[in-house]
Structure 1
Amino acid sequence: MDNSSDQLFTTLIDSLLQLREGALKLEEDFSSSLAKIPESQRQCGRNLVHYLSVRQHDIRELQYQLHALGLSSLGRMEAYVLPTIDAVLTALYRLADRTPPKIDLQNSYEGFQAGRAHLDQNTNVLFGEPGSSRQQRIMVTIPSEGARQYGLIFELLQAGMDVMRINCSKDDHKTWAQMIEHLRRAEKETGRRCKVQMDLAGPNPRTGPLESKPGVLHWRPRLNDVGKIRSRAKVWISSRDTGHQNADEVLPVPPDAMGNIQQGDKLLVTDTRGRKQTLTVISVEDGGCWAEGEDEAFVEPNAPFCVLRSDEQVFQGNIAQTFARQTDHEFNVRVGDLIVLTDGDIPGHPARKDANGNMTEPASIGCNLPEIYQDVRPGDRFFYDDGELQAVVREASAEKVVIEVTQTRKDAVKIRSDKGINFPDTHFNLPALTQKDRADLDFIVANADLLAYSFVRHVRDVEDLIDELNARGADSLGVILKIETQQAFQNLPELLLAALQHPPIGVMVARGDMGVEIGFNRMSEVQEEILWLSEAAHVPVVWATQVLESLAKKGLPTRAEVTDAAMSGRAECVMLNKGEHIVETVQFLSDVLERMQHHQHKKLATLRKLSVSNIYSNS
């Protein structure tokens, strides 16, 4: 062996020994934290600490040199850090024809097997055994209709749903119980098992209510396949707020109009397009009358109408506003506009202007968590609805915040109620567990298999939840940490070590809020790091947000979504959101995941036989 080769081996061996020594030293430093983890999961914590130690260094040059020798470049060490280092050290000592030092080099094969087995076992405990040859589980968010439509949940389970997700920021205990009852019934009928995950609402800042305005009344006939009328639109006309569940629409009229309407009369009303629409009165009852129409119509309150009898006008008036349906007064904002954020109970409104069009008061909108204002500072960034609108804080006080719109995805962005808002630069002092969450925990503990912890940011958040679960005797309830803020990502190692004290646990990559919080340009990088850290802790991951969203909502995926779905197989579970075509989306995703698992496991490309490799020379 020449001197240059001998020097190279010396350098590589020394570098690996330093990495090994550093990993064991950090394990010793964290010994008190690791001791709190149950013995069954303690090796998971140790391996995470070893991985963190290695990643405190830039080892790219070391990787290139190892790769050039045909050795492992340490690029797949996440689940088995010391076994990987020791396997490479053993190979280097043999290549250099040297005697290994008197250290306890681990049996690399057993170490590799143990690391992978830990992750597989934790995945099975958390999500259940795979119900098919597909290894990745599929989680589906159930819409409110799932409480009324047993068939939807049955079809989802049959299509391949492994985890049913219930969002606790929507609906109520009665609705959730009905969803779960439908699932248990479907399990018996299909023979498939499915876990129930319930997501705590958490301190989720959202826009408050808007000022209301009378809604536009709308009715239309039902048509057959060739566009002919199958049944006329049924409209209930009344001067009293009686309503009628069988009506396509309720038309409010003044009290004196009802005394002038008889069966057979025709009511002509001017719609929003200036056209006169005809309704024929077919019966008069106590409290109102029934009328039918053959044309689609949009009618605003206060629209003019008249009553004709044998082509003679017997009454003229305007549609009443007394009990007309109210809708939110949504409004548009543009770059440069100011918006005042106020208490969530104060209805928001568009900018007020005088007769000359000059603004007298900027637009306003409430926030359901006004207590966050005390942490906001001028210069902090603000995002609305997953980044549809970006703004910067100009003024801030404990009562209100004034922001200036700096960027919009379109020329104008419509402001609506109950939309998510983010302050990515602001560190809030709110606890992750809200009073609503604590009230929901009793139901969750009694009915769910998994609890997803929203907006967790600090170790104390994890400790608070564990205390609440222990107080309810929920030792075996699975906990999913939703990583959706910049603080949560920065604190992920500490969060994992704290959560490992209450197994089983998982991590959700909540890419919606995270993309806004961290920036879309860093989203892929951060997503990778979450996958690495979770695998190092042998913790299963849920890949979430906008997976095959176009397919679920419109029936056709984009090419980018299909690629994203294929890459999602690197996680142990993939989450789909609700949509009109969600059953077909589950089937599509199941097929993609099953195909991709033959090509890739985590970051490892697995080389099955390729059909396209069968080529033959013509010579």
Structure 2
Amino acid sequence: MYSDLTSELDSILGDLAPGRARRARDVERVDPTHREGARNLVDYASLRRHDLRDLQDRLLDVGVSPLVGCEDAVEAALRAARAALAALEGQRPSRFADRRTTAEARAAGDAALATHAEALLGAPRPGRSGRVMVTLPSSAADDPGLVLGLAERGMGLARINCAHDDPARWEAMIAGVRAAERAVGRRIPISMDLAGPKLRTGPVALGAPVGRARVTREPGGGVVEPARLWFTRDGIDPAGAPTPPPTRGRPPLCVRVDPRWLAARTPGDVIEVPDARRLRRRFTVVSVDAAGVLAEGDRNAWVRDGTLIDCDFERTRVRGIPAVPQRIRVHTGDRILLTVDMEPVDPPRSGAEIRLGCALPAVVEALTVGDRVLFDDGVISAEVIETATPGATDAPWVRLEVVRCREGGRWLGSEKGINVPGLEVDTPALTEEDCRSLRFASRHADLVAVSFVRTRRDVADAVEALAAAVSESGREVGLLLKIETRQAYRSLPDLLLEAMRHDRIGVMIARGDLAVEMGFESLSEVPRNITLMCQAARVPVVLATQVLESLAKTGIPSRAEISDAGSAQRSECVMLNKGPYVAEAIETLDAIHSRMGRIQRKALPLMRHVDSWD
């Protein structure tokens, strides 16, 4: 009656030994702390080469565990299922497994994952099942109070994106985190994300230096917050210019003016401001202090750098308004010439061919007719229709046709992401800039996240570079692999085994790039598979991209993202991006972690008593 089930389980158990033999050298190379996890990872990879769905249904039919939760200890779970079948057949189950051995194996796997997670990510807050990582905004360098507020709300880790700012500002952010650690009395590890090879659009030429002071309107059109101008004195370093006081509504437009004109201002003064659209606007001074002057108006104003403004027949020119970044309007059917020329381009006239640079020449060289090219997180999709003749003087270039774009068009600007699904290009994961950032991180941070790892060689380079950096700094620094490409997903067992040569490792699931690379529908499965594979390896996971994004940006969560945040609890850490309401997002995610920890352990649902159904 059970022979079909026993033979299938015996076959799967028999596959484990050959899999271990093939990977024996890889397992021996890992750090001792990962040795058992590496063996279990190899077993799990062997298991997942089988399609188990029908077997799981039939095991459930006879009351045997359908291998849910087997990731903690793969062989022990298989043997426990085999022992249960033996008992049903009237045989001695102890030939295959016993309860104590199975429980010890599962507990050991669970404990190893918890130990590795705490070493890399710090301890979770009491009563929580996971941690909250928060991306620090650039303003955190100037505002230690902002960092302290995030820590008080529940930030467990701070993330610094090395693609932005510079070492001086990173140091200021780090000082703020260390001060917040002391204030809240717990460790807050710092993760520094290396920028990685930038597959992005080239620069679009800057436009005129014009800034906008904007009112805030209610849905009916009435003004609920005025437009604001913040005046500071000219002649000081812009980096050290005083910041405007906190206000509601849209941020003030910051300008610099003659110090004598500024010193003469008093509350109630009316300032005449010519609008770049040949209109005139009036702003009334509402506050004056040593830092600057704040003025408010009830109409939007476009102000050009160098504009002559007037107050009681005293005139001065406004300075410090930067050039406006221009963008290109893209429509379905447009042609794009993608080149390796990184000189700034001017937006073309409507209907003309768009010219764009690509930051990685190897990608342009590798593209062929029919390849898909996606821009700006996949919102613009194009197809290669022509390539340059090899050896031509203007090569390399490719001509694209836009095949999908939002109705009415979409803006595309400088430094926007480019994805080429399925294209494998031999470019190193660590750039020279990354190596400099890594050395900085080894002296100041607790873990380093490596972007766009694709191959085993990429991970080996990262492990070796980190080992060299920490040997100089004398500090222990963890390594986080960002899985964000189809190639990395396919190579995940290899990447993990290579990374396990380092003692503190983790994986970040970058759902944004994965969705673009593999299709948005893949997000229903791929992150879950990565999490399960890492659980088998006893390697902690950080889930990233758009978690509670609406809440962080607008202060109001969508129902779908609350459910998404609940599912994210299966990872050891969840990353939030910056936003004006990120503190509220931290509190919400922390509460979800507290609640979900009582009813879910990784992929295993826990059935607590439901009071409502008494």
- 1:64 is displaced (CA, Å) by 1.7
Question: Quick check: 1:211 aligned with 2:215?
Answer: no
Q: Is the 8 A contact 1:131 1:193 kept in 2?
A: no
Question: Quick check: 1:446 aligned with 2:443?
Answer: yes
Distance 1:322 1:161, change over 3 A: closer
Match of 2:181 among 169, 184, 187: 187
Match of 1:298 among 274, 277, 301: 301
Match of 1:428 among 425, 430, 435: 425
Aligned residue in 2 for 1:93: 86
Distance 1:182 1:379, change over 3 A: same
Match of 1:120 among 108, 114, 128: 114
Question: Quick check: 1:65 aligned with 2:58?
Answer: yes
Aligned residue in 2 for 1:466: 463
Distance 1:115 1:211, change over 3 A: same
Structure 2: how far apart are the matches of 1:53 and 1:494?
Answer: 13
Q: Is the 8 A contact 1:566 1:593 kept in 2?
A: yes
Match of 2:69 among 54, 70, 76: 76
- 1:493 is displaced (CA, Å) by 0.9
SS at match of 1:183: helix
Structure 2: how far apart are the matches of 1:184 and 1:602?
Answer: 31
Alignment of 1:469-488 (within 5 A): 469-473=466-470, 476-488=476-488
- 1:154 is displaced (CA, Å) by 0.4
Structure 2: how far apart are the matches of 1:131 and 1:338?
Answer: 53
Q: Is the 8 A contact 1:214 1:321 kept in 2?
A: no
Question: What is the CA deviation profile of residues 547-596 of structure 1, one whole-angstrom value per residue up to 9, with x for unaligned ones?
Answer: 00010010000111101011111111111000001111101110011101
Aligned residue in 2 for 1:4: none
Structure 2: how far apart are the matches of 1:562 and 1:229?
Answer: 30
- 1:65 is displaced (CA, Å) by 1.9
Question: What is the CA deviation profile of residues 236-288 of structure 1, one whole-angstrom value per residue up to 9, with x for unaligned ones?
Answer: 999x99999689666999xxxx9xxxxxx99977635553446899xxxxxxx
Structure 1: how far apart are the matches of 2:199 and 2:311?
Answer: 53
Question: Quick check: 1:591 aligned with 2:594?
Answer: no
Match of 2:374 among 373, 380, 383: 383
- 1:384 is displaced (CA, Å) by 1.4
Q: Percent identity?
A: 36
Aligned residue in 2 for 1:368: 359
- 1:9 is displaced (CA, Å) by 2.3
Q: Is the 8 A contact 1:222 1:233 kept in 2?
A: no
Q: Is the 8 A contact 1:218 1:296 kept in 2?
A: no
Match of 2:34 among 23, 41, 45: 41
Structure 2: how far apart are the matches of 1:587 and 1:389?
Answer: 35
Aligned residue in 2 for 1:327: 324
Q: What letter corresponds to residue 124 of structure 2 in structure 1?
A: P
Structure with greater Cα Rg: 1
Q: Is the 8 A contact 1:457 1:487 kept in 2?
A: yes
Q: What letter corresponds to residue 147 of structure 1 in structure 2?
A: A
Q: TM-score scaled to structure 2, two decimals? A: 0.84
- 1:422 is displaced (CA, Å) by 0.9
Structure 2: how far apart are the matches of 1:54 and 1:242?
Answer: 62
Q: Is the 8 A contact 1:546 1:577 kept in 2?
A: yes
Q: Is the 8 A contact 1:599 1:605 kept in 2?
A: yes
Question: What is the CA deviation profile of residues 466-509 of structure 1, one whole-angstrom value per residue up to 9, with x for unaligned ones?
Answer: 11122234584211111100100010011111111212211111
Structure 2: how far apart are the matches of 1:194 and 1:236?
Answer: 36
Structure 1, 295-304 or 501-510: larger mean CA deviation:
295-304
Q: Is the 8 A contact 2:159 2:190 kept in 1?
A: yes
Aligned residue in 1 for 2:553: 553
SS at match of 2:356: strand
Aligned residue in 1 for 2:248: none
Q: What letter corresponds to residue 436 of structure 2 in structure 1?
A: A
Which stretches in structure 1 are left out of the alignment for 5+ residues?
1-7, 259-264, 282-289, 354-358, 615-619
CA RMSD of aligned residues (A): 3.8
Q: Is the 8 A contact 2:216 2:227 kept in 1?
A: yes
Aligned residue in 1 for 2:190: 196
Q: Is the 8 A contact 2:420 2:517 kept in 1?
A: yes
Distance 1:339 1:26, change over 3 A: same
Q: Is the 8 A contact 2:364 2:396 kept in 1?
A: yes
Q: What letter corresponds to residue 165 of structure 1 in structure 2?
A: R
Distance 1:417 1:607, change over 3 A: same
SS at match of 1:213: coil
Aligned residue in 2 for 1:563: 563
Distance 1:294 1:593, change over 3 A: closer
SS at match of 1:561: helix
Match of 1:160 among 151, 154, 160: 154
Q: TM-score scaled to structure 1, two decimals? A: 0.84
Q: Is the 8 A contact 1:204 1:455 kept in 2?
A: no
Structure 1: how far apart are the matches of 2:532 and 2:435?
Answer: 32
Q: What letter corresponds to residue 460 of structure 1 in structure 2?
A: R
Question: What is the CA deviation profile of residues 499-534 of structure 1, one whole-angstrom value per residue up to 9, with x for unaligned ones?
Answer: 112122111110011100000011211112111111
Distance 1:504 1:268, change over 3 A: closer
Q: What letter corresponds to residue 182 of structure 1 in structure 2?
A: G
- 1:206 is displaced (CA, Å) by 1.6
Structure 2: how far apart are the matches of 1:374 and 1:464?
Answer: 24
SS at match of 1:586: helix
Structure 1, 509-518 or 212-221: larger mean CA deviation:
212-221
Distance 1:364 1:14, change over 3 A: same
Match of 2:279 among 275, 279, 286: 275
Structure 1: how far apart are the matches of 2:230 and 2:461?
Answer: 55
Q: Is the 8 A contact 2:276 2:304 kept in 1?
A: no
Structure 1: how far apart are the matches of 2:346 and 2:605?
Answer: 54
SS at match of 1:327: coil
Q: Is the 8 A contact 2:210 2:305 kept in 1?
A: no
Alignment of 1:103-118 (within 5 A): 107-118=101-112
Structure 1, 54-63 or 603-612: larger mean CA deviation:
54-63
Structure 2: how far apart are the matches of 1:242 and 1:588?
Answer: 40
Structure 1, 415-424 or 193-202: larger mean CA deviation:
415-424
- 1:309 is displaced (CA, Å) by 10
Question: Quick check: 1:176 aligned with 2:170?
Answer: yes
Match of 2:400 among 393, 400, 403: 403
